[in-house]
C-alpha cells in the first residue's frame, strides 16, 4: 500500500486507486447474492417510429437497488459482471424477465418489440441462439417481439461465431441492433461482417444536433450521412438520447426511422409503464402517440 508522504503527490492518488479497486471487488463479490435476493429490476423506455409517431416498443434497462449504496449504475456493474462471469446468469435473468414482461403486456397483439441489451460476452456464447429460442417459447412470444442490442465490443470477441449467432437469431424473426453506433472503434468493419437490422446512433451525436447550436450544420450533415449509410445497407436507423423536440424534428426530416430519449419518455418501472401502456398503444393513427 502507498505511504502517506507530503512530498509525493501521487501517494494520495495511489491510495484512492487502491480504495476504488477494493470497492469494485466488493461490489463484484455482492452480485450473485443481489441476483438471488431480487435486487435487480428492469425499467422500460419507450421507442417511437418517426414517420407516424407510433410507439414501436421499449428498451429494457437494468437497475440495481443496492441495500446500502442505493442505485448503482449499470455502466458500472455490468462491466463487473462481465469480469466475474456472472453476466451469463444475469443476462439470462434479464432476457427471461424482459420477455415475460413483453408477453404479459401482450406485445404480439400490439405489434410491439422489446429491446434487450446483450453483453458481447453472452452474445458470443455458442448456445446463445438456443437460449433465446427457448425463452421465446417459454413466454409464447414470436421472435418479432424481440430485438437484441449489442455493441461494437463484439469485434474484440469471436466476430465470426457472433455473426453466425446473429444469422440464427434473425432466422427466428428476432431483430439485431448495433447499439452506440459511432462511438467505438471498428464500426464500419462490423457493418461489413455482422448481420444486422438496426443501427442505433450513439447519443453523443445528439448534443450538437440542435438548431441554433454553433456546430449544428456539421452535426446535421454527419447525422444525414449516417442515415444514408444505414439505409444503403438496408438497415433501420434509431436515434438514442433525444432530449428535445427540435432534435426530433431534424431527425424526422433526415429520414431517421426511430427515436428514443428523455424528450419522448423516461425509462420507467414496470407498473408505471403498465399504467400508461393502453393509452400509448391504442392511440388512433390520426392522433399522435407522442407525449
Cβ 30 to Mg ion shortest distance, Å: 23
Q: How far apart are CA 22 and CA 242, in angstroms?
A: 36
Whose cell is 461482417? That residue is 193
Number of residues that bind Mg ion (CB under 5 A): 5
Q: Kindly list the residues in this chain that would bind ligand C2E in the complex (CB under 6 A).
A: 45, 60-62, 73-75, 78, 94, 117-119, 149, 179-180, 203, 240-243, 261-262, 267
Q: Which residue has the cell 458500472?
A: 76
CA distances from 257 to 91, 105, 152 (A): 28, 24, 21
Dihedral pair phi/psi, residue 180, rounded to 5°: 55, 35
Binds Mg ion by CB under 5 A, chosen from 47, 56, 113, 117: 117
Secondary structure letter of residue 221 according to DSSP: H
Q: Where in 129-158 is the site for Mg ion (CB under 5 A)?
A: 149
Identify whether the C-beta of residue 256 lies closer than 8 Å to the C-beta of residue 240.
no
* Nearest approach, Cβ of residue 36 and Mg ion (Å): 26
- Measuring CA to CA, which residue among 117, 25, 119, 101 is closest to residue 62? 117
* Residue closer to Mg ion (CB basis): 124 or 260: 260
Angstrom distance (rounded) from CA 4 to CA 12: 7
Q: Which does 61 bind (CB under 5 to 8 A by kind): Mg ion, ligand C2E, none?
A: ligand C2E
How many residues belong to the chain? 291
| Distance from the Cα of residue 39 to its chain's centroid | 20
Residue nearer to Mg ion on the CB measure, 149 or 152: 149
Choices 48-56, 92-100, 176-184, 242-250; region in contact with Mg ion by CB under 5 A:
176-184
Q: In the complex, which residue's CB is closest to ligand C2E?
A: 261
E strand or H helix at 61: strand 55-66
- Out of ligand C2E, Mg ion, none, what residue 280 binds, judged by CB under 5 to 8 A for its kind, is none
The angle formed by the CA atoms of residues 254, 258 and 260, to the nearest 5 degrees, is 115
The site partner of 241 among Mg ion, ligand C2E, none (C-beta below 5 to 8 Å per kind) is: ligand C2E
Q: Which of 226, 223, 202 is nearest to 151 (CA)?
A: 202
Residue with Cβ nearer ligand C2E (10 or 207): 207
Give the nearer residue to Mg ion in terms of CB position, either 30 or 94: 94
Segment interacting with Mg ion, rule: CB under 5 A, options 10-18, 172-180, 253-261, 277-285? 172-180
Query: Whose CA is closest to 237, among 191, 268, 192?
Result: 191
Q: Is the Cβ of residue 263 or residue 289 nearer to ligand C2E in the bound state?
A: 263
**Which partner, ligand C2E, Mg ion, none, binds residue 45 by CB below 5 to 8 Å per kind?**
ligand C2E
15/268 with CB nearer ligand C2E: 268
Residues that bind Mg ion (CB under 5 A): 117, 149, 179-180, 240
Amino acid at each position: 500500500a502507498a505511504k502517506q508522504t507530503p512530498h509525493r503527490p501521487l501517494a494520495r492518488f495511489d491510495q484512492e486507486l487502491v480504495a476504488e479497486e477494493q470497492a469494485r471487488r466488493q461490489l463484484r463479490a455482492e452480485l450473485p447474492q443481489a441476483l438471488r435476493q431480487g435486487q435487480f429490476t428492469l425499467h422500460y423506455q419507450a421507442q417511437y417510429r418517426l414517420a407516424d409517431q407510433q410507439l414501436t416498443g421499449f428498451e429494457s434497462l437494468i437497475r440495481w437497488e443496492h441495500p446500502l449504496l442505493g442505485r448503482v449504475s449499470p455502466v458500472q456493474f455490468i462491466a463487473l459482471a462481465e469480469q466475474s462471469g456472472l453476466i451469463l446468469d444475469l443476462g439470462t435473468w434479464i432476457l427471461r424477465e424482459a420477455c415475460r414482461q413483453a408477453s404479459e403486456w401482450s406485445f404480439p397483439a400490439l405489434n410491439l418489440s422489446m429491446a434487450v441489451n446483450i453483453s458481447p460476452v453472452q452474445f458470443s456464447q455458442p448456445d446463445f441462439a438456443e437460449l433465446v429460442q427457448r425463452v421465446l417459447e417459454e413466454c409464447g412470444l414470436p421472435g418479432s417481439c424481440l430485438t437484441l442490442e449489442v455493441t461494437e465490443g463484439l469485434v474484440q470477441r469471436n466476430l465470426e461465431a457472433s455473426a453466425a449467432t446473429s444469422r440464427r437469431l434473425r432466422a427466428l424473426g428476432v431483430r439485431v441492433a448495433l447499439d452506440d453506433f459511432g462511438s467505438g472503434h471498428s464500426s464500419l468493419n462490423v457493418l461489413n461482417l455482422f448481420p444486422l437490422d438496426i443501427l442505433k446512433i450513439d447519443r453523443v451525436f445528439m448534443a450538437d444536433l440542435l438548431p441554433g447550436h454553433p456546430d449544428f450544420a456539421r452535426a446535421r450533415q454527419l447525422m444525414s450521412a449516417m442515415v444514408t449509410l444505414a439505409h444503403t445497407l438496408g438497415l433501420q436507423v434509431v436515434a438514442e438520447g433525444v432530449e428535445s423536440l427540435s432534435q426530433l424534428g431534424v431527425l424526422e426530416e433526415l429520414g431517421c426511422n426511430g427515436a428514443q430519449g428523455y424528450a419522448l419518455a423516461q425509462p420507467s418501472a414496470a407498473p408505471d409503464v403498465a399504467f400508461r401502456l393502453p393509452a400509448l398503444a391504442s392511440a388512433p393513427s390520426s392522433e399522435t402517440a407522442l407525449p
